[in-house]
Amino acid sequence: MTSSAVTLPRPLPRSRQWLIDRVAPVLVVVGALLVIWYVAAMLMNATMVRDSFEREETPYGIADLIAGTLSGERPVLPAPHQIVASFVDSVVNYPPDSPRSLIYHSAVTLSATLLGFLLGSLFGIVLAVLIIHLRTLEKSLLPWIICSQMVPILAVAPIVIVVLGSIGIRGLLPKSIISAYLCFFPVAIGMVKGLTSPDPMQHDLMRTWSATRTETFWKLRWPSAVPFLFASLKVAITISLIGAIVGELPTGVQAGIGARLLAGSYYGQTVQMWAALLAASLLASNLVWLVSLTERRVARIMGVRT
């Protein structure tokens, strides 16, 4: 039997296939969302623009109306290009230490986020190590840690800021404490899971080598907990950023993305608010990307098979 009857289609090169399978759908969906956004911006801003035209008693056509909805000073929903323009303007046209620059505000929030992330993750890791070694803590403390996941912790944020402020601790630290408080939970839970993930067989093997508790910890438990650690860190860094932003709300701090949002909502500066949101999103995605980059590096150094 010859193979002339069946001709299989030649498989596409891998990169082309990847483009079609992965990139194209995302691009189409993003494009559709942008179109919806523009239409929504026109519809939502139309009444306001029409009113202003009629107040000034200038004759207007459809084209004027559409142009007006997409370039208003304080639109109900700013168009994407306005947001990007405002973002670029505040990044490029002002020095990074000016309070009108988003770089300045992002840096303030970023420093609180990173400090809180560091404190919270360290605390979470230490707590997890204590919990797996002390049965009492596992029995008595762990249920409370899990319970506290169901509690809206951000509600505590104003108290922390005010109480610490009244005993003289201001600035970076209170915000970081809120971030730390938020992000130690996922790290602690993930690390308890990770440190207890080696199965009894592996523990038995360590015992046959008469390994001490410390050796078992560093050679068995810690390496097997690293993947769990990074999964938790990715969650932790995003909620650490949320904690820092929310921590800037109650006291009306002058600097930071949260303060920028609050000021925008006070003065009706919608474009400024959306630009601040864009900055927060960029910050969040870059932080997550950094953590996953570190994860890949660490995995390669530790010799994980991919």
Partner 1 sequence: MTARWQRTIAGLAALALLAAILLPLSSDGPENRLPANSALLTLTFSAALLFLCAGWMTSPAAIGLGLAGVLLGCGEALLLLGKPGIAGQAGPAFWALVIGTWLAAGLCVTRLAAIKPTRPAARRALDLLVPLLFGAFVLYLWEVAVRGFGVPAVLMPAPSAIMARLAGSLPVLGEDFIQTFVRGVLTGYAIGCSAGLIVAILAHRFAFLGRGLLPLGNFISALPIVGIAPIMVMWFGFDWPSKAAVVAVITFFPMLVNALAGLSAAGAIERDLMRSYGSTYRQTLTRLYLPAAMPFIFNAMKINSTLALIGAIVAEFFGTPTRGMGFRISIEVARMSLDMVWAEITLAALAGMAFYGVVALVERATTFWHPSYRT
Give the count of beta carbons closer than 10 Å to the beta carbon of residue 94.
Answer: 15
Residue 30 lies near partner 1 (rule: CB under 8 A): yes
Contacts of 130 (CB under 8 A, 6+ apart): 137
Cα separation, 222 vs 127, in Å, equals 14
Cβ proximity to partner 1: between 65 and 154 the closer is 154
Q: CB–CB of 70/101 below 8 Å? A: no
Q: How far is the CB of 243 from partner 1 (least distance, A)?
A: 9
- Binding residues for partner 1 restricted to 217-256, rule: CB under 8 A: 234, 238, 241-242, 245-246, 249-250
Does 25 engage in binding with partner 1 (CB under 8 A)? Answer: yes
Binding mask 125-164 for partner 1 (x = CB under 8 A): ----------xx-xxxxxxx--x-xxxxxxxx-xx--xx-
**Calpha distance 238→231 (Å, rounded):** 12
Closer Cβ to partner 1, 191 or 241, answer by number:
241
**Nearest approach, Cβ of 45 to partner 1 (angstroms)?**
12
Nearest distance in Å: CB 197, partner 1: 17
Helices (H) and strands (E) in the chain, counts: 14, 0
Pick the closest to residue 133 from 228, 213, 199, 226 (CA basis): 213
Q: Is 15 in the site for partner 1 (CB under 8 A)?
A: no
What DSSP letter does each residue of 49-110 carry, written as one string?
HHHHHHHHT----HHHHHHHHTT-SS-SS--HHHHHHHHHHHHHSS-TTSTT-HHHHHHHHH
Q: Which residues of this protein are in contact with partner 1, per CB under 8 A?
A: 21-22, 25-30, 76, 135-136, 138-144, 147, 149-156, 158-159, 162-163, 166-167, 234, 238, 241-242, 245-246, 249-250, 257-258, 261-262, 264-265, 268, 270, 273-274, 276-277, 280-281, 284-285, 288
